[in-house]
Amino acid sequence: MEIFTLAAVSLIISVSILLRRDRGPILLSYAALCFAVFLHKGGQFFGTVVPAGFWGSMSLLGLLGIPPLTVAFFQNLVKDRHVLRRRDAAVTALVSIALGAASFTPFRERFSFTLALEIYVIGILLVCLAALILYTARRAAGSEKKRFLYLTLACTAAFLLSLADLFQHLHGAFPPLSNIFIATLLYFVLMFVTHPQMAELREIMARTLFLAIITVTATLMAWAILRLFAGETTPPFTHLMVASFLIVIAIEPLREILKKLLTLLFPDSRELLRSLFAFDEKLEREKSLLLEEMAPVFAHEIRNPLGSIKGAAQYLRSEVTSEENRKLVDVIIEEVNRLNRVVSQFLNFARPYQPDLKPRDINRVVERAVDIIRANILSEKIAIQTDLRSELPAVNADPEQLIQVILNIAMNAIEAMPEGGTLMLRTRRIESDGGDTVAITIRDTGPGIRREDMKNIFKPFFTTKERGVGLGLAISQRIMRGHGGHIRAKSLPGRGSIFIIRVGLPS
């Protein structure tokens, strides 16, 4: 059962990666490694069920493929020639080919070929583990060092726990567990390479806990139903848990396979498939279209009476003689102007707008935004600093909309520092499997954002200001999604806030 679990997990991971649209060299090399694990363990499992030379050959092929594919995956992951060189993968591949050829010669019968092969595979895996430890200790820096430290600990723990199989050789009643530990490690590495933004251990653990809760819940439901109808013939609880785990992690790849298959068989039923596989997204689009239709009517019905109120108030102001009455009329005019601004922002949020996306110099866009900020009277007590990296690639952006996003965030930061402070704007390149992007980081030294408010700051009409509208960040996030990017926010209580604007590169 443990061998089948590892074979199934490795196959599901490999297929799920191949179905992704954003697969890069790291993901492809990892998919190849997982497929080699599937060949090895799948051959072992089916070889015990249906004895045949084919399964033995498949298991041997997979085992020989694991060392060079592990080296290749590690090289793509760290991109550091000082740890493992490019030729190391080629040399390992040649050794595997030579051992594969030797398996068809009489030498296989004369020597302990299987033991030598296992020592070779374990040796290469230990070399890669040592290289990972070396890279984490000496080369990695910042948040990357923290992420690779978690990966190093996970790989080391899996190796040490797998040594428990020695007890199985010494005492046959002890169950072999190394395959379960390796399956867990493969899934952990999948999260590591597909979620580079998960820099904190608590985020990784939260995702793992979520998966575990779903698995246990599904297991208990299946066990209760089978116990009710099957009685004493109910399968062992551990077998049900393994089956539930495989189903949970297979949902996404199976859904993508079914979607592609049904699209191929029923090309005229794409709208039906979208409603089956992306019902929430369809509802969001329908709500957006409804908002776009209602917004102009809503604005027209409000602006007309506001215009009449403002005109009447301006006429009354010219007629009143007392200073007190003039102040009251000024309040009416000021509030009418504020409501007009609210309506304008609402239209900007609801109105469909196609950005003029062309390759742009991100640093020039930021410099233009900084010039506007410096000219604002609110920034007199604010020290504005910039750190714009040179030699950044051009980004796919509409400069006017991008400036609007920067100004919305920067003005919020300035208003959060009424007694003065520092506003820092940085640009840098971010490399990931999902595609390289350029990030604009805006940081202030204000009080920060409360934890309970963080989840709401991008929601329309949410604001913590007494006279705020709550549409600035919602509009900014919508603009960046139109650019194929997004905005993330972090709060440092008592030290300020950080907003990270990610912009994609031209395809």
Q: What is the pLDDT of residues 391-428, one digit of tens each?
A: 888 888 888 889 989 998 998 888 888 888 899 999 99
Report residue 498's pLDDT band, with 50, 70 and 90 as the boundaries.
very high
User: How open is the CA angle 30-32-35, to the nearest 5 degrees?
Assistant: 110
Residue 461 has pLDDT above 60, yes or no: yes
The answer to whether residue 464 scores a pLDDT higher than 90 is: no
Average pLDDT over residues 320-325: 83
* Percent of the chain clearing pLDDT 70 (strictly above): 76
What pLDDT was estimated at residue 84? 72
Using 50, 70 and 90 to split pLDDT, how confident is the model at 442?
Answer: very high
Q: What is the mean pLDDT of residues 117-137?
A: 86
- The pLDDT value recorded for residue 105 is 72
Closest CA to 355 of 320, 285, 405: 405
CB atoms within 10 A of CB 341: 10
Neighbours of 149 (CB within 10 A): 15
Listed range (314-323, 414-423, 446-455, 466-475) with the worst mean pLDDT: 466-475
Backbone angles phi, psi at 73, to 5 degrees: -65, -45
Q: How many CB atoms lie within 10 A of CB 381?
A: 11
Domains of the chain (ranges plus CATH)?
A: 2-199 (1.20.1070.10), 200-277 (no CATH), 279-350 (1.10.287), 358-504 (3.30.565.10)
Rounded Cα–Cα distance for residues 470 and 464 (Å): 8
Q: Is the dihedral of CA 193, 198, 201, 206 positive or negative?
A: negative
Average of pLDDT values for 447-475? Answer: 78
Secondary structure letter of residue 232 according to DSSP: G
Instruction: Return the HEC string of 315-368.
Output: HHHHHCCCHHHHHHHHHHHHHHHHHHHHHHHHHHHHCCCCCCCEEECHHHHHHH
Rounded Cα–Cα distance for residues 372 and 407 (Å): 8
The predicted pLDDT at position 293 comes to: 62
Average pLDDT, stretch 291-312?
74
- Report CA torsion sign: 435, 18, 144, 87: negative
The pLDDT mean for the chain works out to 77
pLDDT of residue 120: 85
pLDDT at 14 over 80: yes
Phi, psi at 59, each rounded to 5°: -65, -40
Q: What is the pLDDT of residue 501?
A: 92
pLDDT for residue 364 is more than 80: yes
- Asked if the model's pLDDT at residue 275 lies above 50, the reply is no
Percentage of the chain lying above the pLDDT 90 cut: 5
User: Vertex 381, ends 378 and 383: CA angle to 5°?
Assistant: 105
Average of per-residue pLDDT across 246-252: 72
Which of the pair, 197 or 351, is modelled with greater confidence? 351
pLDDT at residue 379, as a whole number: 58
**Contact by Cβ (8 Å): 448, 497:** yes
